[in-house]
Structure formats: structure tokens, C-alpha cells
């Protein structure tokens, strides 16, 4: 095992929560001193994006076949809509004197470590350069003006993480949550693009080093502890035929461009330090790679009954904080639809160009026509045998559906178990179903430690799909990052690190907290 993989494995093991102890985190939190959720770069030109809130006509159900959605022209309004529907505000919540923003992309603890950048290469609607998206103001800050004349390759979106924002509350485990959030943000970007008739191409070959160069993250413009770490570059296909992207020319343009602004400090002082996060960030940083051209054959999904537009569903997405534990069973077709939407054969996963490494173990509590109990959804047929071999010999692995690779493993009431496993959170047991996302782990990261992050991204992408599918089915979901890792493994019979559970999720009928007021997303902007 190489040194970096060892560092990653050590990080993973020491940040497990267990029934006996939680991963290391601050002993106390001063909410008054929370890092600023909205990064600003002082000294940049601001480009105000057209007024947010426009509805798009594409229905959520149309997103199953996104190629049938007419492509919107690339202009400032539509680029703004892409950013808004992916990373913009969706509402404000108020409870007593506290007021906080929610966004289209969810985030563990609503801390939002993810930052988004738009890179323009042509001169059609914005000067070529790098722009930081400020979701609070729905505006762009121009960080770089490219000096070279680039071939017009449309727009790209870059994502990075401020680990500190998350570590401030969650301590050592925060690096995992930052990765989940990147996966959610990628999913949010895909759905926003699809609603505009566009597609997202993950530029997976890029090294983190080059992403940092392009986004200006390697510059001396950040307070040391508040650095942004490069994660992802995506190219947005806004037309059927796009000219090829010249990576070297793009990097040269950024290198020789004129840069503006300095990142404002997110917080006055930093009380706790989490050096393991810096260590794992370095150990899991990605070199330039050649990536395979894998693509699953698209299969039709079980039809969605949703008649709302995609933009409505995206803006109404929320995490349920409580569920109605006495809900009528979830219709079986809705359950099957949600599961079919997270298979690699679904349109939402076309941007994910690798065979799936994440499989679902589902605790069914209240689903019409299904015995309560544990079920498995291997997301790739090749994983079936090894999942069977790695889990309890008593599981019966009976296929339950013609339409899906869903297997019944065990019958029994798992509500209490699910709740206990998810750090005693009632949302895991009061729902229609909750689930653990189990990764093909040890072998995946053995030679390529940066794939540790990609495993979490895949979980986040699945989570984002479930969030939106739950809304579309008239129920609601919640991501669960807090769970007792090895207790989950024990319940399933997993004994070593061949498989590891990396994320949980729960879906049910939400109970609204009427004490909370909901305010419009962009009521604070001058019209
Ligand atoms: C990676 C991740 C982990 C999360 N873990 C939990 C959790 O353990 N418990 C919980 O109640 N909510 C959890 N959430 C939900 C967040 O608290 C929620 O996304 C955030 O408060 C923003 O609210 P919204 O999703 O309604 O926009 C998680 C969300 C994400 C993305």
C-alpha cells in the first residue's frame, strides 16, 4: 500500500463515529462566530445576473429524456439560471431572531463549503475569464480576465471546497462531508443544466493542481486557514456540436490573464485546528489521469407521476427534519421509481463515466406491498456476487422486482435499528425507507487514493437524485452523514474494508415545523 493510501485509510478509520465515541470535533460551538457562508472577493468587478426566479417550461418528468428538451441559447440570463438552479438560494428560514438561507444544493449542517466558478471562453455574453458566483447576491465577481484569444468552447463550471467552513462545526469528519457536498453540487448542476436542455461533461482527467491554477486557488489571495481546495471542472454542452476544448490553451490563458481581488476573511479567528484534514487533502489530491470512456446503456425509467416543472421541484427541494411516523405506506411504484432513478442506466448518471462503485442497502419501513426489512440494490450486476459473499450468510437475496435489481435480504421491523445506526436520529426510522450507501472501498483506493473523494461524490450524486425524486413523488428526503460506521457494517455482516458504508439517506412524509417562517429566496435583492 502506498503512503498516500495509508494516510487516507487512517483518516477514514479515525473519523468513524461509533456507539462509544464520535469522531473528534469541537467541544463547544459559538454560533455567533460561524464562518461566513458567502465568500466575497474584494476588488473585483461585479456582474449582476438577471433577476432570479424565472420558471422554465421543462417538466421534471421530461428530464428522464433530456435530449428531447429544446436547448436554451447560451446568454447571461440562461447562464444565471444555471447557477441559480444549481447553487443559488431557494428560501430563507426564520425562527425567532435567527434567519438563515437555504440553497438549491443541500449541505451537511447547512454550512456550504462548496464554492462555484464560471469560466467563459467566448465573447458572446461575458468577457472570457474566471468568475466567482456569489449565491447571496446572485452575481459574479470577475477574478480573471483572459488575455489570450481562446477558441470559443462555451462555459465551464469549477467547484472547490473551503474545508474549514465544515470543520468549524464537525471537526475531523468534515472532509467527508465536503466531498458529499461536492457530489450533491454536481448533481444539482446536472439537473439545472438538463432543465435548460444542456448537458454536463465532467472533465475527470484534470489534476487538482491544474484546476487550482484555472480557478486561481493557488494564488496568494486567501487567508491561510480559509484556503479553497480544487475539486471538479465541468464543461457545459449548450449545443449539440461544440468545438473541442484545449486544456493547455485554457490554462495558459489563466496563467497569463489579469487577476483581480482578494478573498475576504470568513472568520476573525480560528480556535480549533484539524491537521488531519490538511493531511488527507494532500494524500487524496488527484494527478492528471487518463479516464476510460465508460457509459451505461440508457434504460427507460419507471415513469414519474410528477406534473410539476423541473425548476419548481429544484427550488422546493428541502431536507425533512421530522417525518410522520404514522404515514400511509409509500406507493410501491414511487419507491421503485426512486430506486430506478439512481441506477447508472438513468439519464442523471450519464455524466458519471465509470462503472458504479456505490450500492444501496435499504431499510424498508413503510412501502406498499413490501415486507418491512432489509433489501439490497446492487447498482451494477458485477457487484452482486461480491456483495453476497461479503454480507451475512443468512440473507436470502430473493429478487423482488422485474424492473429493478432489488433483492430482499431479511424481513423484520428495522425502524429502531435504522434510527440507532444513524446516530439515534428519528428521521432514519420514522420514514418510509432509509438506506446506507455501501462503497467498493479497499480495492478502489489501494492504488489511487484520490478515488476516496470520488466515492463520496458518487454518494452525493445519488443523494441529490433521491432528494429531487422524493420531492417529485410528493414526499421528502434527508441526507444523513451522521451514522455509526462499523455498527452498520456489523448489521450487514461486512467484516473488512472491501466494502464500507459512506453515506445514508432517508425518505418519508415530512412533518412541517410551523413555528418557522419561510421567506422568499431573493426578496433582499433590489428589483
Ligand atoms: C452530506 C450531508 C449530510 C447530512 N447529514 C444530515 C444528518 O445527519 N442529519 C440531518 O438531520 N440532516 C442532515 N443533512 C441535511 C442538511 O442539514 C441540510 O441539507 C441543510 O440543513 C440544508 O437544508 P436543505 O437541505 O433543506 O436545503 C445532511 C445533508 C448533507 C448534504
pLDDT tens digits, residue range 366-390? 999 999 999 999 999 999 999 999 9
The closest alpha carbon to 281, from 35, 457, 453, belongs to 453
With a 6 Å cutoff on the Cβ, whether 480 touches ligand 1 is yes
Phi, psi of 434 (to 5 degrees): -130, 165
* CA 46 to ligand 1 centroid distance, Å: 31
231/450 Cα distance (integer angstroms): 11
Q: Which ligand 1 atom minimizes the distance to the CA of 482?
A: 8
For residue 60, the SS3 value is helix
**pLDDT band at residue 527 using 50, 70 and 90 as cut-offs:** low
Residue nearest atom 19 of ligand 1, based on CA coordinates: 106
- How do residues 85-125 score in pLDDT, each as one tens digit? 999 999 999 999 999 999 999 999 999 999 999 999 998 89
What local confidence, expressed as pLDDT, does residue 186 receive?
A: 98
For 168-200, the pLDDT digits (tens) are 999 999 999 999 999 999 999 999 999 999 999
Helices then strands, counting H and E runs in the chain, come out as 14, 20
33-50+62-280 in CATH: which number? 3.40.109.10
Provide the 8-state DSSP code for 456.
H
Whether 94 contacts 517, CB under 8 Å: yes
275 φ/ψ angles, rounded to the nearest 5 degrees: -60, -25
Please provide the average confidence, as pLDDT, over all residues in the chain.
96
Place of cell 451494477: 380
Q: What is the pLDDT of residues 53-90, one digit of tens each?
A: 999 999 999 999 999 999 999 999 999 999 999 999 99
Q: What is the distance in A from the centroid of ligand 1 to the CA of 245? A: 36
Retrieve residue 63's grid coordinates.
Answer: 428530464
- For the CA of 184, the nearest atom of ligand 1: 31
- The rounded Å distance from CA 427 to ligand 1 centre is 11
Residue 269 has pLDDT above 80, yes or no: no
Phi, psi for residue 9 in degrees, rounded to 5: -65, -40
State the pLDDT at residue 225.
86
How far is residue 143's CA from residue 130's CA, in Å, rounded to a whole number? 6
pTM (whole model) above 0.95: yes
pLDDT tens for each residue of 326-361: 999 999 999 999 999 999 999 999 999 999 999 999
Alpha-carbon dihedral sign for residues 147, 148, 153, 156: negative
106 lines ligand 1 (CB under 6 A): yes
Ligand 1 centroid to residue 107 C-alpha, Å: 6
User: What pLDDT, on a 0 to 100 scale, did the predictor assign at position 266?
Assistant: 93
88: left (phi over 0), alpha (psi -120 to 50) or beta: beta
Distance of CA 283 from the midpoint of ligand 1 (Å): 27
pLDDT of the residue at 33: 84
pLDDT of residue 452: 98
Q: What is the DSSP string of 236-299?
A: EE-SSS-PPP-HHHHHHHHHSSEE--EEPPS-S------HHHHHHHHHT-----------PPP-
pLDDT category of residue 272 using cuts at 50, 70 and 90: confident
Q: In what order do the strands lie in the sheet with 373-377?
A: 398-399, 407-411, 373-377, 358-364, 433-440, 499-508, 476-480
Contact indicator for 489, 388 with CB cutoff of 8 Å: no
Residue nearest to atom 7 of ligand 1 (CA): 480
319 lines ligand 1 (CB under 6 A): yes
> Distance, CA 11 to ligand 1 centroid (Å)?
22
Q: Which of 333, 321, 317, 366 is nearest to 465 (CA)?
A: 317
Q: Does the C-beta of 482 come closer than 6 Å to ligand 1?
A: yes
Cβ atoms < 10 Å from Cβ of 123: 11
Where is pLDDT greater, at 273 or 277?
Answer: 277
Q: In 3-state terms, what secondary structure has residue 328?
A: coil
Distance between alpha carbon 375 and the CA centroid of its chain, in Å?
24
State whether residue 166 is helix, strand or coil. Answer: helix
pLDDT of residue 149: 80
Sheet with 517-519: strands ordered across: 98-103, 89-95, 517-519
The DSSP line for 379-392 is SSGGGHHHHHHHS-
Q: Are the CB atoms for 108 and 177 separated by under 8 Å?
A: yes
Q: Check pocket membership of 161 for ligand 1, CB cut-off 6 A.
A: no
Task: Using the predicted structure, report yes or no on whether residue 148 has a pLDDT greater than 90.
Answer: no
In the DSSP assignment, the letter for residue 457 is H
pLDDT digits (tens, 9 = 90+) for 20-59: 999 999 988 888 888 999 999 999 999 999 999 999 999 9
Amino acid at each position: 500500500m502506498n503512503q498516500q493510501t495509508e494516510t487516507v485509510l487512517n483518516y477514514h478509520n479515525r473519523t468513524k463515529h461509533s456507539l462509544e465515541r464520535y469522531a473528534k470535533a469541537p467541544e463547544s460551538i459559538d454560533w455567533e462566530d460561524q464562518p461566513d457562508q458567502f465568500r466575497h472577493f474584494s476588488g473585483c468587478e461585479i456582474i449582476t445576473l438577471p433577476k432570479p426566479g424565472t420558471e422554465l417550461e421543462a417538466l421534471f418528468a421530461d428530464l428522464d429524456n433530456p435530449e428531447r428538451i429544446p436547448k436554451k441559447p447560451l446568454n447571461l440570463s440562461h447562464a444565471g439560471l444555471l447557477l441559480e438552479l444549481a447553487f443559488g438560494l431557494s428560501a430563507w428560514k426564520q425562527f425567532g431572531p435567527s434567519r438563515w438561507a437555504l440553497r438549491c444544493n443541500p449541505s451537511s449542517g447547512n454550512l456550504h463549503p462548496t464554492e462555484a466558478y464560471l469560466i467563459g471562453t467566448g465573447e458572446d455574453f461575458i468577457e472570457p475569464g474566471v468568475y466567482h458566483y456569489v449565491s447571496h447576491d446572485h452575481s459574479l465577481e470577475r477574478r480573471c480576465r483572459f488575455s489570450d484569444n481562446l477558441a470559443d468552447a462555451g462555459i465551464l463550471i469549477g467547484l472547490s471546497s473551503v474545508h474549514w467552513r465544515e470543520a468549524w462545526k464537525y471537526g475531523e469528519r468534515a472532509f467527508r462531508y465536503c466531498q458529499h457536498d461536492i457530489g450533491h453540487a454536481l448533481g444539482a448542476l446536472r439537473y439545472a443544466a438538463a432543465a435548460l436542455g444542456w448537458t454536463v461533461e465532467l472533465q475527470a482527467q484534470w489534476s487538482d493542481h491544474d484546476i487550482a491554477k484555472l480557478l486561481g486557488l493557488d494564488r496568494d489571495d486567501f487567508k491561510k486557514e480559509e484556503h479553497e481546495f480544487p475539486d471538479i471542472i465541468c464543461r457545459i454542452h449548450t449545443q449539440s456540436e461544440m468545438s473541442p476544448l484545449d486544456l493547455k490553451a485554457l490554462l495558459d490563458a489563466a496563467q497569463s490573464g489579469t487577476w483581480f481581488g482578494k478573498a475576504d476573511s470568513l472568520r476573525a479567528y480560528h480556535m480549533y485546528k484539524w491537521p488531519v484534514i490538511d493531511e488527507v487533502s494532500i494524500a487524496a489530491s488527484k494527478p492528471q489521469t487518463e479516464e476510460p470512456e465508460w457509459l451505461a446503456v440508457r434504460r427507460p425509467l419507471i415513469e414519474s407521476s410528477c406534473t410539476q416543472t423541473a425548476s419548481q421541484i429544484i427550488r422546493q427541494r428541502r431536507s425533512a427534519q421530522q417525518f410522520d411516523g404514522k404515514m400511509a405506506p409509500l406507493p410501491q411504484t414511487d419507491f421503485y421509481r426512486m430506486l430506478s432513478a439512481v441506477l447508472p442506466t438513468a439519464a442523471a448518471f450519464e455524466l458519471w463515466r465509470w462503472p458504479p462503485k456505490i450500492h444501496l442497502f435499504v431499510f424498508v419501513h413503510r412501502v406498499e406491498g413490501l415486507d418491512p426489512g432489509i433489501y439490497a440494490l446492487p447498482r451494477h450486476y458485477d457487484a452482486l456476487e461480491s456483495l453476497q459473499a461479503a454480507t451475512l450468510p443468512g440473507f436470502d437475496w430473493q429478487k423482488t422486482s422485474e424492473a429493478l435489481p432489488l433483492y430482499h435480504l431479511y424481513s423484520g421491523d428495522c425502524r429502531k435499528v435504522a434510527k440507532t445506526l444513524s446516530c439515534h436520529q428519528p428521521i432514519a426510522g420514522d420514514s418510509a425507507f432509509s438506506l446506507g450507501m455501501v462503497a467498493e472501498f479497499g480495492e478502489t483506493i489501494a492504488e489511487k487514493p484520490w478515488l476516496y473523494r470520488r466515492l463520496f461524490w458518487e454518494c452525493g450524486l445519488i443523494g441529490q437524485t433521491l432528494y429531487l425524486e422524493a420531492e417529485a413523488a410528493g414526499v421528502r428526503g434527508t441526507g444523513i452523514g451522521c451514522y455509526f460506521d462499523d455498527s452498520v457494517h456489523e448489521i450487514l455482516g461486512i467484516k473488512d474494508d472491501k466494502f464500507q458504508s459512506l453515506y445514508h439517506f432517508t425518505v418519508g412524509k415530512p412533518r412541517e415545523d410551523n413555528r418557522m417562517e419561510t421567506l422568499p429566496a431573493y426578496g433582499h435583492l433590489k428589483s
